[in-house]
Structure 1
Amino acid sequence: MTTYLDLHILQLVPPSCINRDDTGSPKSARFGGVERHRVSSQAWKRAARKGFADLLDAEQLGERTKYGALRVAEKLRGLRPELSEEEALEFAGEVLKAAGITMDRKHTDQTSYLVFLSRQEIERFAELAAGLADGNEKLSKKDARAALVGTTAVDIALFGRMLADAPELNVDAACQVEHALSVHKATTEFDYFTAVDDNAPEDNAGAGMIGTVEFVSSTLYRYATVDIDTLAANLGDRTAAAQAVEAFIQAFSLSMPTGKQNTFANRTRPDFILAEVRTDQPVSLVNAFEKPVANDGTALASAAVELARYAVDGDRDFGTKPATSLFLVNERASTPELLSALDGRSTAASFPDLISAVGAAVSEESGK
């Protein structure tokens, strides 16, 4: 029996451009025959990863970087301060190459691609590099790659890692994140702006700069699921997996991609959260919005009801039910229809209580 956490979020986002395409327009997708506002899963995973910094110790997190050699060299100089920066970088590069990681041909401090490394792995690489600096024999690939075994970085365990040069060291992602979609038809608008030159002559009435910025506002449905068993296997400990789940709920729920944030100050918090621990399979509820809800000032409340009813009806039809279900709802999204739909299925909770209750449920289900 596999245990999953499903996290469903409805969030009202004001005029913003938090995730852009290659033309600078807010990302979009067609769903249910109409154009929707879309925020890519990559954008929100990145935002959640940044949020981990305030919730977990640095030693519990990884770094996705091309500057792996530079990071190893920095740790190496802490172990062997007599080494110059150039010497430390040379030894660090040797260790990474011994592990089969391809280095950039032009930049000795960079790998040829992004590598997701935990802080512990960087430390272990630095220790191997210190051995080389001390005159030890040439490092074997087996010993170098051993430094990448047994990662305990929460973000690597959740979001996975692919090493093209060392596929046996790949980490299967325990978490999947759906592209956020607006629950209604969303139309992109344009902000025409001008900028005034503070030092322009008094007789110059023209603008120093003229331009446009595209933006959109929407009520988004956000969904993520975590395979608790894979997470525990990646971290090597079920207690650590429960703690990682609690951090993920907080980071994913409260994070926001930072595109054009200075322009729009669009930071909001979720209006409705449904967190469910399941032992059958992950279930996205996005199909509740195939028919777009009316965007007439009631989209949020209507979407919450549609989501709850779709969840209840789906479990009834397939003869399933969540092992644990909790929800948080603010005043704008709370209606008698919503509370009626969730009655007997889900328990209302504050955000801190929801997080701790899910963590406890994850520990209990994973231990069975």
Structure 2
Amino acid sequence: MTDRLYIDIHILQTVPPANLNRDDNGNPKEAYFGGTRRSRVSSQAWKRATRIHFTQGHDPQDFATRTKRIAAQLAKGIVTRTGLGDEDARRIAGALIKSTGISAGKKEGDTAYLLFYGRRQLDGIVDLVAGSTTDLAALDAKALEEAVKELPVKQQLQTGHPADVALFGRMVADIPGLNVDASTQVAHAISTHATELEFDYYTAVDDENTAEETGAGMIGTIGFNSATLYRYATVGLHQLRENLGDDKAAVDAVDLFVDSFARSMPTGYGNSFAHRTRPSLVAVVVRADQPVNLVSAYENPVPASRGMVAESARRLAAEFSTATEQWGDCPVHVSICHTVSTDSDGTAQKLTEAFGANRTFTELRDGLRAVLTERTNDN
């Protein structure tokens, strides 16, 4: 049994007026915490943003997709590989997916739920029939189902998981054998301070108006707020190693996640607000006991002053130091990257005392990789 090891990622990030993640009314999501209303970005929104960032600079085929249209994607792969006609490819793909026991959806060709799978795993299913598609296409529906029933289709989805499936997991309620236990937990991001919902009242002018015409061609409102967000996620290296079956791949996946989680941003109303920023602080804590979310640093909201980041950073440092001392924690590794450039208020010193010397983001990742590589080699 591999020793437990958790990688906690703590981030402070200031976002200008934005609507990153809307609720059912189209307004930014919120939550009450510490008795005050806070800006909130759901974990699902930031996990998707992180997954999308994975493919930047990498081959998308090495990652996963989440869709009800796995049969259509499989048919496309069969056509590309073998040159078989579209209709015959769809028949074969449908029979292959049916053999797994995955429930069919209401729309023909769809599954009943979104399925999260690796693109390479789908290539593996194509491999099973690539040499016999002509013969399979000649069979009627019943004979085709019988012909593919014994093929190890389900096994292709149970092995060779890409990093994103290994990190975020997969649940298929009616086929437990396809489940993958997630190695990553992502918290809802919340503001470190109280926020108020605001509205942007906008008008759009019809460019073809004549001189006699007045008024707007369109009128509307968009809800928004601005916030300094506390973001938190944790990766269980032991579960990740089990999901991937390879120590180096597990360390690579942690590095990929830390990089993409820090750099990604949900895109809601991105063209309206141009809200992309980078974190003011990223702290990584490797622990052998349990994950620890430090959001309690902000149960008492940061008051409005000259800015929120510095006080939020001091609160985070104090919470970590106090919790570590009071509980007798002994972190395996602690590292920080932040953009506090002056120390007139003692913020940089407090961060150093809590998390160590300030490093570049590249140095933070390199140091984390070295520690995890050493630990996996020892186990």
From the superposition, tell whether residues 347 and 2 of structure 1 become closer, same or farther in structure 2 (CA, over 3 Å): farther
Q: CA RMSD in A?
A: 1.7
In structure 2, the partner of 1:100 is 101
From the superposition, tell whether residues 266 and 344 of structure 1 become closer, same or farther in structure 2 (CA, over 3 Å): closer
- Alpha-carbon distance in 1 for matches of 2:180, 2:150: 19
One-letter amino acid matched to 2:307: T
In structure 2, the partner of 1:114 is 114
Aligned counterpart in structure 1 of residue 172 of structure 2, from 163, 167, 174: 163
- Alpha-carbon distance in 2 for matches of 1:128, 1:72: 12
Q: Secondary structure at the match of 2:340?
A: coil
Displacement of 1:346: 2.3
Which stretch shows the higher mean deviation, 339-348 or 194-203?
A: 339-348
Unaligned runs of 5+ in 1: none
Aligned counterpart in structure 2 of residue 353 of structure 1, from 352, 363, 369: 363
In structure 2, the partner of 1:19 is 21
Question: Deviations for 1:129-163, whole angstroms, at most 9, x for unmatched residues?
Answer: 43562436612367221111213301000000112
In structure 1, the partner of 2:142 is none
- Alpha-carbon distance in 2 for matches of 1:52, 1:248: 8
TM alignment of 1:240-255, pairs within 5 A: 240-255=249-264
One-letter amino acid matched to 1:115: L
- Alpha-carbon distance in 2 for matches of 1:190, 1:332: 33
TM-score (norm 2): 0.92
In structure 1, the partner of 2:124 is 124
TM-score (norm 1): 0.95
One-letter amino acid matched to 1:292: P
Question: Deviations for 1:62-86, whole angstroms, at most 9, x for unmatched residues?
Answer: 11111111111111112221x2111
TM alignment of 1:176-191, pairs within 5 A: 176-191=185-200
- Number of residue pairs the alignment of both structures matches: 366
In structure 2, the partner of 1:84 is 85
Displacement of 1:361: 1.2
Displacement of 1:55: 4.2
Unaligned runs of 5+ in 2: 137-145
Matched, 1:42 2:44: yes
Q: Secondary structure at the match of 1:268?
A: coil
In structure 1, the partner of 2:143 is none
2:313 and 2:351 in contact (8 A); partners too: no
Q: Secondary structure at the match of 1:6?
A: strand
From the superposition, tell whether residues 323 and 338 of structure 1 become closer, same or farther in structure 2 (CA, over 3 Å): same
Q: Secondary structure at the match of 1:343?
A: helix
- Alpha-carbon distance in 2 for matches of 1:144, 1:341: 52
Hey, which bits of structure 1, 4+ residues long, moved more than 6 A?
A: none
2:118 and 2:161 in contact (8 A); partners too: yes
One-letter amino acid matched to 2:214: A
Displacement of 1:105: 4.1
One-letter amino acid matched to 2:172: L
In structure 1, the partner of 2:236 is 227
Question: Deviations for 1:282-324, whole angstroms, at most 9, x for unmatched residues?
Answer: 1100000000011223211001011011001101011112111
In structure 1, the partner of 2:158 is 149
